[in-house]
Structure 1
Amino acid sequence: MMTNLFSMFDPSSSINNLSMNWMSNILGMLIIPSSLWLIPSRHYMLWNKIMLNIHKEFKMLIGYKTINKGSTFIFISLMSMIMFNNLMGLFPYIFTSTSHLIMSLTLALPFWLSFMLFGWMNNVKFMFAHLVPQGTPPLLMPFMVCIETISNFIRPGTLAVRLTANMIAGHLLLTLMGNVGPSLTMTLLSLLVIMQILLLMLESAVAIIQSYVFAVLSTLYSSEIN
């Protein structure tokens, strides 16, 4: 019996008092067979086609003129990692690392900090000009500078909280619906199972969409410093 509803996000799996929760981040190395990368299979061709389409989209978002070779693959790798962890968290007894703010903030903060340092070190005039949107009346310029500065500082927080909140919300709903199962009749239990399956399909879509949103927003933030 859980004493706290949020304890489902922190399972106590350990070996010799060594926490093994965060090992779920590298489960892909054990699950994905090496033949996927060595032999051109259907899975490899499908994944390669998806990644090429995402590469084209990220390349368009960053900008053809300012893009550096290989920069899109950073965001593709970020999206793949988040999507894998989100989907793995839907399986029973697997630690959902992306539902913790420390994990999502660890991904968002270095990206935002590197973008800010690169922008202020190389494009100082552009970064100052970006604080005041074009067409702003002179009277509102001091307020716009304050608003834009605050919005820049909260960007890593909004990226992290968006991912964490979406992962927590779906898991909590699945848990709450599952806890009422033992007290239902067979008819209502059948209806509950159908609803759980539909909700699990929705959570699978949310897991993919949230990883895509995280990567796209990071791409847009990087395009603003060029």
Structure 2
Amino acid sequence: MNEHTLSQRLERVAANVPASARLADIGSDHGYLPVALMLRGAIEFAVAGEVAQTPFHSAQRKVRKNGLEQRIAVRLADGLAAIEAGDRIDVVSLCGMGGETMCEIFERGKHYLTGTEQLIMQPNGGEQELRTWLMKNGYRIEHEEVLRENRFDYEIIVAVPAADVVYTPQQLLFGPCLMEQRSEAFLGKWRRVLRQRQQTLAHFEHAQEVPQAKARLFSEQVEWITQLLAGA
């Protein structure tokens, strides 16, 4: 992967960034996404925020190599602290980290947002926790998709500010948009998760010490997934 050829996951994130956006890519990981979008003429301005030195310096080099210093600001900062008021950011992307980590970043950095930004997220797990945070903080999920890359299932979640957002526990687990679309990638993911949960519960039956809370959670999820797939 480089700034010219993105991974499948980042390509799908890129496809969800509105034309002429002013993008803050938080945890930018070498700046691949903002540089690629700028080279394609797809965005107006970008911030590449990184908390780690190595990807920060790598992103700086990529921006310089492509002559984009005036259009992409590369900043060493913790989470949303990379955003400055004068940036006029209207889209924030977070990719390739756990949903729980994304929740922490949003929670710590709320005051850096105006409350009008579109959020585009590609979590590596923790989707349920991320959707719960979005619901509790006034964001409506307007688009979701599942893709499989290198034998892993990944989800992309796009959310916008909205009032009175309420999702059911099942929608928080599966995704409200994904439940409606019922794509083959989505159903395939949950078939695999169902097998894993059933195998874990079978192991619990033979274990001397069983974590009861986890067993109850998995049992409930097996029931929900079975019902979901029965409607396939």
Query: Relative contact order: is structure 1 or structure 2 higher (C-alpha 8 Å, sep ≥ 6)?
Result: 1
For normalisation by structure 2, the TM-score amounts to 0.23
Q: Name the TM-score, length of structure 1 as normaliser.
A: 0.24
Which structure shows the bigger proportion of residues in helix conformation?
Answer: 1
